[in-house]
Structure 1
Amino acid sequence: MPPFFSSLFSRTKHSNSGKKMARKRDGLLGWIISLAILGLLALLAAMQVDAGYPKLFAGIDDFRYSKASNQKPDHRQRLLHGLANLKASLDVATPPSSPQVEQGMRGGSRVYHAVDYGADPTGKNDSTSALLRAIDDAFKSPGDRTLMPGIADLGGAELHLDGGSYLISSPIKLPASKGGNFKIHSGSLLASDDFPTERFLIELWASPSSEAEVEAEAEKDVDASMAASNTDYDYEYITIRDLLLKANFRCGGIAVVNSLRTTINNCYITHFKTTGIWVRGGHETYISDSYLGQHITAGNHPDEKNFSGTGIKLMGNDNAVTDVVIFSAETGVLVTGQANILTGVHCYNKATGWGGTGIYLKLPGLTQTRIVNCYLDFNSIVSEDPMQLTVSNCYFLGGGNIVLKSVNGKMSGVNIVDNMFSGGGNGVDIVRLDESNGAFTKIEQVVVHRNNVDGMRLRTTVAKASVQGNGSVWTVDFSPVLLFRDRIEHVQYTLRTGSAFPNHALRNVSENKVVIESDIAVSASVDVSVDQSVGSSISIN
């Protein structure tokens, strides 16, 4: 055999021999893997028998080697088959979960559902006693935690009205036992025909009497009354939200008395006889995103002249009214407390022309109130003896204006700036002094400035004007625009002439007229600015 063929034949023999050895190794390896898998599956099957799970080897006969057919098993097929059976054995039905625990008393939750106590969500039957029982349960403190001293922490307990409408014949009143961290929400309360007058649908009021009696007592000694209410709190962190309250023209909406950090949010309060929301004493009641009106209207109500009642009364300190609409009442907001703020309030209650008032600040000499970004829609703001009052960035429509009313003749620290006034051209002053009870005799630091006016008469404490002429006397009359009569605290002027260099001086400012005089007659322009706002108490050393 030629060497080439001999070499080729030798390599072929070696190659065939190597392939046979490889097949033997593969077969042996396959048997080892198969036996390992079968052992694992047998072990798993033995472990699962007692647990009642399905067996894994339903097709075990398919794994056996058949000598009759002389057919070798494919270890890869056996492996895939075993894994498939293993997966099927693990797809065991998940045991059904236990029923979800219901909320409310039945589940041990601190959410107390009105319907669980037998309240009628259709409003056909009286639900007063049922709602009061729910509140009594909610006021059972879950532990010994407290908020302010003596006020139990109720752990976030809730009276949930479940979207129902509930007829009540007496106030839904919080217990006299002091408590906090509690919420009432999500439903409607309707006053019955025999609901007691001078009371409220919801009362945070430990010792209720009547609104009129409390206010009469407070007027006897304002200082003592306010001091007592600001140190003795009955409730703290109470939230009232997402409610419709209909008072049936018999009572008020919500009373908040001696309560600390109370929130009233997203409430619609209507058909009140007296007051929509009454805040007496306490501290930091925040009222927001709510609507109040004695009559349900969107304006132009045929009986508007006869509107009565007050949308909100703030007879306490450090409260806030934000983004609230008062669409019908004689008075929109009445403030008799200090350091309150009103923001984004829209008043279109009884028009000022018919005797209504948008915002009334009735605390002479102790105002300390900020009114910002509000909309007085045919309504006015009235402030008695204002002291530290800011009205800014507000819009007054339909002749609505600001009235500064003299009680003791004092006014100090007033800023009325950057507002818009729009009227019907009837000569209404944007800011008016009411001196029917006596003139203002002490006026300090009052700034009325940078307001824009359309169809009303501008009044300001800062003004500028120019006159031109040929002579020796120039007179600028500021009386048509200045707020205070015969009062100019500060004057600046410039005399411009090109023909001479005269001596000149300020000669007179009486009756709000500025008189400039030169020693010789010249042709000149005189520019004058005046300011009424510099108070006599301001001095520079």
Structure 2
Amino acid sequence: DILPRSILRGYGKVFYPIGYGADPTGVKDSSAAILNALADAFNVSTGLELLRGVHDLGGVVIDLQGGSYKIDQPIRLPAQGGGNVVITSGSIRASSIFPGNRHLIELWSPSSQNAAGFYYEDITFHDILFDSSFRGGGLYVIDSARIRIENCFFIHFSTQGVLVERGHETLVSNTFLGQYLTVGGDKREKDFTGTGIELASNDNIITDVVIFSAAIGLAIRGQANMITGLHCYNKATYWGGIGILVRLPGNSQTRIDNCYLDYNGIVLEDPVQVHVSNVFFLGDGNIVLKSVKGRISGLDIVDNMFTGSAKANAPIVKLDGVFLNIDQVMVDRNSVNGMALKSTIGKSTVAGNGTKWTIDFSQVLLFPNKINHVQYSFYVRGQSGIPAHAVRNVTGNIVTVESDKAVDGVVSVEVDQYNRRGEISPYN
């Protein structure tokens, strides 16, 4: 007779930690049993490789069978590495003696300490609840390629829900992360700590993810990452929270699109090639440009919606520090309600009798005393003749147009702060 799958160690290429002695009720420590199941799974041989040196394990599955497993030590995947593996369907919870500086599941090989490379590839985590019990983090991925984290739930982390270092192409999708279980308005919010997801690697994709409590929702320290469909209400700006922090000064190369920053915002440190579009900022959430070495290049903040308190009148984009090296910056076409509009483009019209017309763009333009291009039209009402006229001043983001004789004039001016790399404005 075939034994019930609840007590089998494996069936085909499916491995059951319960069969190795794991306790699905969460009463006893299941660390050793899960590690033994992983060891057997990673010893499956197909004779094939994925990336060089990464053994193709042929689609083995670690099936947690809906159990809730308490662990006293991290579940570190076998040191020899491997790929084409699925870990699915259960809950992993840290015990009261779990080390507070580790993560529940760790993809790292001791070889990473000697030489960076790829040791794991095509590992999928699916339908797993990671409960760190305020002792460390949820999932640690290092020197790995093409890792998928799908339909997972991370709670009670004190460091990071997910930490990715080096490696390439980790995909996080349809996943929830929160230090505390809340749907907002939590009395503990000012004390939230930790980071939902931290990406210290390149070419990762975050899609359809909610981060509902943490000091920082998403921290990015790698290049060429793509963020879409992220909802951050992890900690309000009022309490010092940050929704998305991009902190690779001078080399960011990040795309943030179609996200929802809910009472918090985005902080960009010396952003270079960063695109922010179709994002909804609620509750005075805004974008802060933080100067580290004073450089901004290739920054687009376009087609976003900002809603806040008219009383606070917070700017939609704020400068934190001085920027001296600025090129290819576009802030435009943003919808604003109850906040102060900031842009790199200004348009206005002024009318009146006289010889001088002045338009002040200083409250709208993002950068102080910086105008790169000026265009204007001069319309004379009800008079014959054509007066001579010219732009006479653009300092302090204030444009002055003067004529050689008094007329009833309408002056329309458009200015911008956009300059190509190496282009020097003749006005400043």
1:119 counterpart SS class: coil
Following superposition, the deviation at residue 380 of structure 1 comes to 1.1
Contact 2:9 2:37 in 1 (8 A): no
* 1:129-151 residue CA offsets vs partner (Å, 9 max, x unmatched): 11111000000132210101111
Give percent identity, aligned residues only: 52
Q: Secondary structure at the match of 1:345?
A: strand
1:412 to 297, 308, 313: 297
Instruction: Specify the alignment match of 1:185 in structure 2.
Output: 88
Query: How many Å separate the matches in 1 of 2:250 and 2:5?
Result: 56
Structure showing greater radius of gyration is: 1
- Structure 2 partner of 1:92: none
> Which whole-Å CA distance do the structure 2 matches of 1:458 and 1:300 have between them?
27
- Matched residue, 2:416: 531
1:374 counterpart (249, 259, 269): 259
Written as runs of structure 1 = structure 2, the 5 A alignment for 1:222-241 is 229=116, 232-241=117-126
- 5 Å matches for 1:17-416? 108-207=11-110, 229=116, 232-416=117-301
Give the corresponding residue for 2:315: 429
CA distance in structure 1 between the partners assigned to 2:65 and 2:39 by the alignment: 18
Name the one with the larger strand percent: 2
Give the whole-Å Cα distance in 2 for the aligned partners of 1:306 and 1:242: 29
Check conservation: 1:423, 1:454, Cα contact below 8 A.
yes
Deviation at 1:172, TM superposition (A): 1.1
Which amino acid counterpart does residue 329 of structure 1 have in structure 2? Answer: A
SS of residue matched to 1:511: helix
Equivalences for residues 494-513 of structure 1 within 5 A: 494-498=377-381, 499=383, 500-513=385-398
Please identify, of 527-536 and 272-281, the stretch whose mean Cα deviation from structure 2 is larger.
527-536
Cα distance between partner residues in 1 of 2:5 and 2:256:
46
Query: Which secondary structure state, in structure 1, belongs to the residue aligned with residue 152 of structure 2?
Result: strand
Partners of 2:25 and 2:420 lie apart in 1 by 63
Whole-angstrom CA distance in 2 between matches of 1:107 and 1:289? 29
**1:344 partner SS:** strand
How far the C-alpha of 1:473 sits from its partner, in A, is 1.2
Unaligned runs of 5+ in 1: 1-97, 215-224
> What SS does structure 2 have at the residue aligned with 1:130?
helix
CA deviations over 1:30-80 (Å, ceiling 9, x no partner): xxxxxxxxxxxxxxxxxxxxxxxxxxxxxxxxxxxxxxxxxxxxxxxxxxx
**Aligned partners of 1:257 and 1:306: how far apart in 2?**
29
The C-alpha deviation readout for 1:414-456, integer Å capped at 9, x for no partner, is 0000000000111200000000xxx210100100000010110
CA-based RMSD: 1.9
Write the distance in 1 (CA, Å) between the matches of 2:79 and 2:109: 4
**Paired residues of 1:493 and 1:527 also in contact (CA < 8 A):** yes
* 1:269-313 per-position Cα deviation (integer Å, ceiling 9, x unaligned): 000111100000000000010000000001111111111000000
| 8 Å CA contact retained: 1:362, 1:383 | yes
Name the CA distance, whole Å, in 1 between partners of 2:152 and 2:161.
Answer: 10
User: Equivalents in 2 of 1:370, 1:387: separation in Å?
Assistant: 11
The total of aligned residue pairs comes to 421
Q: State the match for 1:440 in structure 2.
A: 323
Q: Is the Cα contact below 8 Å between 1:475 and 1:515 reproduced in 2?
A: yes
Q: Which residue type is aligned with residue 52 of structure 2?
A: P
Asked whether the equivalents of residues 149 and 172 of structure 2 are also in contact (C-alpha less than 8 Å), the reply is yes
* 8 Å Cα contact 1:104-1:110 kept in structure 2: no
Runs of at least 5 residues in structure 2 that lack an aligned partner in the other structure: none
AA at the equivalent of 1:308? T
Bigger helix fraction: 1
AA at the equivalent of 2:19: D
Asked if structure 2 preserves the Cα contact closer than 8 Å seen for 1:101 and 1:107, the reply is no
Q: Of the candidates 360, 384, 391, which is equivalent to residue 477 of structure 1? A: 360
For 1:264 and 1:163, locate their aligned partners in 2 and report how far apart those are by CA, in whole Å. Answer: 17
Higher relative CO (Cα under 8 Å, sequence separation at least 6) belongs to 2
Q: 1:102 Cα shift?
A: 6.3
Q: Is the 8 A contact 1:257 1:282 kept in 2?
A: yes
SS for the counterpart of 2:100 is coil
Amino acid of the structure 1 residue aligned with 2:234: N
Asked if structure 2 preserves the Cα contact closer than 8 Å seen for 1:305 and 1:354, the reply is yes
Deviation at 1:108, TM superposition (A): 4.9
Contact kept, 8 Å, 1:104 with 1:111, in 2: the verdict is no
Name the aligned partner's letter for residue 35 of structure 2.
Answer: L
Report if the CA contact (8 A) 2:7-2:18 is conserved.
no
Letter paired with 2:68: S
Contact 1:298 1:327 in 2 (8 A): yes
2-structure distance, mates of 1:343, 1:383: 17
Instruction: Tell me the CA shift for residue 104 of structure 1.
Output: 9.3
Instruction: Give the drift of 1:331.
Output: 0.4
For 1:62, the equivalent position in structure 2 comes to: none
What is the DSSP-based 3-state SS (H/G/I as helix, E as strand, rest coil) of the residue aligned with 1:273?
A: coil
Shifted more, 530-539 versus 141-150: the winner is 530-539
Change (3 A) 1:269 1:479: same
Question: In 2, are the aligned partners of 1:151 and 1:235 still within 8 Å (CA)?
Answer: yes
Q: For residues 169-207 of structure 1, what are the alpha-carbon distances to aligned partners after superposition, in whole Å with 9 as ceiling and x for unaligned? A: 111110110200011110001110000111000110113
Normalising by the residue count of structure 2, what TM-score does the alignment of the two structures yield?
A: 0.95
Alpha-carbon distance change, 453 to 135 in structure 1, aligned in 2, over 3 angstroms: same
